[in-house]
Amino acid sequence: MNRVGRPPLEEALAEAEKQCAANGNQLTELRRAVLTLVLAAPGPLTAYQLLDQLKAVRKSAVPPTVYRALDFLIDNRLVHKVEQLNAFIPCSDTHHDHHDVQFLICDKCGTVAEIEDRAIARALAKAAEKHGFHPSKAVVELDGTCAACMAEQGK
């Protein structure tokens, strides 16, 4: 399991609980269970993979159960949806602005890294402005090869 650079699971869950409370929301048992699965996964998970895993602990789980929990987690800045993969990853920095974020998607190992470069967001906003377009969201998804896979290739 690849959790390098991420806080331990228990710590991440405690932090998530605090964050929900600060938003006036509650991290219910179900939401917590879904978040735990997303946090523990080595890479992005689709809603159906989540449902399968959730069923192990909650037999009655159906797709809307998972979608509602995911919506909640996204609204509370705990989880991101990677549109291109139609899959979900934990947010690595729950304090950032989720409208301007960049994902680095490795097509070799399937990992997704999250970066937030304000210069990219600004450049995009400026380019859009030239066309009189006002963006409400500027999420960029880049495909390629991650550093670890590049190193592996060079061997």
Q: Which residues bind Zn ion (CB under 5 A)?
A: 91, 106, 108-109, 146, 149
Taking the least distance from each CB to Zn ion, the nearer of 22 and 56 is 22
Residue closer to Zn ion (CB basis): 34 or 91: 91
C-alpha–C-alpha distance, residues 142 and 155, integer Å: 24
Give Cβ neighbours of residue 91 (< 8 Å, ≥ 6 apart).
77, 78, 79, 80, 98, 114
Instruction: Write down the least CB distance from residue 28 to Zn ion, Å.
Output: 22
CA distances 31 to 17, 53, 58, 82, 85, Å, are: 10, 14, 12, 19, 22
Nearer to Zn ion, 57 or 109 (CB): 109
Shortest separation between residue 16's beta carbon and Zn ion, angstroms: 13
Compute the least distance from the CB of residue 59 to Zn ion, in Å: 32
